[in-house]
Structure 1
Amino acid sequence: MTITRQNSPLTPRPLFLYGTLRAMPLLAWALTGDSRKTDVVTPLVKLAELKGYARFSLLGKDYPALIKHSETSVVDGLLLRPQDKSQRRKLDDFEGEAYIVTPVQVAVEGQMVDADIYLWNGEPDAVSTDCWDLDTFIRERLDDWIELFAGIELVGDDVDA
């Protein structure tokens, strides 16, 4: 396998998305402020896999936790290549403090790609033994999330502090 590194000072590291942000309307809202703009975000993602981690439901939550797991564990997801630092900041803000950004390598179309993940950094007791399922989230909760976030936009100012 080839290892691909595509980060520059102007382009943030790619992100491996494994949870709610794989729902294109939610990703569109997070990046553009409009859940209907899925056509804008779809070209930014590719199918990807992450080895050595597992995705679990969180007790009483709609979103999952990603935790380090056995070397044979594989999590399916999307590799997102944010177009600028503002998009990356929006996603960092969306994920919040319960997650820590962690560098990994993910498999995309037969190549290993450097990326970041949002690794669960919350209470271990909050992690269920149940697997988290995107289809269930989309079917049962996505509309509620979109309604909750309607009229709100993540800022993601492109200002260096």
Structure 2
Amino acid sequence: MASAFFYGTLMSDDVLLRVLCGPYATPDIKQQKKDALQLRPASLIGHQRFALKGLPFPGIIRTKSEDQVRGILCEGLNANDVMRLDEFEGPEYDRSTAAAMVDGQRVPCQVYLWIGGEQHLESHDWELEGFVKGALVDWLKDRSEFNMSDTLDI
């Protein structure tokens, strides 16, 4: 089983379960998947999160050791989940090894780093609350956001 640190749209249960379960999953299937995962508040030290110009999701990059990003550690991911996450994140992100801080402990995990170019970074942080209140509902309806991970539904 794999672990990943999420710092953006995947912190939303709605987005996470849409990616991991696909577009046609029943509420029961989504609940089973959620029950199989352990989600805990976590921080990633030595990284900084940025809003992306014209996009509703963020990116993080490695920075100075005193920088940190708050997010969640998702444990219990299987190989199919990781494959779906890789497809969802796309070529602008690189899955990399990291260590999240959870309750003062370093926990090995994967994280998707932004590699799409620093020219796309805003000068401010991205906020989950603004995404949930503003873009989430319409974004979930936009199948193009999930095209790559949906191709795995066979």
The TM tier, using the shorter chain, reads: 0.7 to 0.9
Match of 2:150 among 134, 146, 154: 154
Q: Say what the alpha-carbon RMSD is for the aligned residues.
A: 2.3
Quote the offset at 1:39 in angstroms.
6.5
In the other structure, the counterpart of 1:57 is 51
Aligned residue identity for 1:69? T
User: Residues 39 and 22 (structure 1 numbering): CA distance in 2 closer, same or farther, change over 3 Å?
Assistant: farther
Moved over 6 A (4+): 150-153
Alpha carbons 1:87, 1:156 under 8 Å: kept: no
**How far does residue 41 in structure 1 lie from its aligned partner after superposition?**
2.0
Q: Does the CA-based 8 Å contact 2:47-2:68 persist in structure 1?
A: yes
Q: How many correspondences in the alignment?
A: 146
2:119 pairs with 1:130: no
Please list every run of 5 or more consecutive structure 2 residues that lacks an aligned counterpart in the other structure: none
Aligned partner of 2:33 among 15, 36, 40: 40
Task: Supply the AA of the counterpart residue of 1:14.
Answer: S
Judged with a 3 Å threshold, the aligned counterparts in structure 2 of structure 1 residues 140 and 82 are, in CA distance, closer, same or farther, namely same
The CA distance in 2 between the partners of 1:39 and 1:48, in whole Å, is: 23
| Richer in helix (by share) | 2
Shift of 1:47: 1.1
CA distance change for structure 1 residues 38 and 78 in 2, over 3 Å: closer, same or farther? farther
Q: Which moved further from structure 2: 53-62 or 30-39?
A: 30-39
- Say if 1:67 and 1:120, in contact at 8 Å, map to a contact too: yes
> 1:83: how far off?
3.4
Question: What is the TM-score when the length of structure 1 is the normalising length?
Answer: 0.81
Deviations 1:24-65 (A, max 9, x none): 101011111249535732643111110110100010111101
Contact 2:3 2:77 in 1 (8 A): no
Question: Taking structure 2 as the reference length, what is the TM-score of the superposition?
Answer: 0.85
Q: Structure 1: which 5+ runs fail to align?
A: 1-10
1-structure distance, mates of 2:115, 2:26: 28
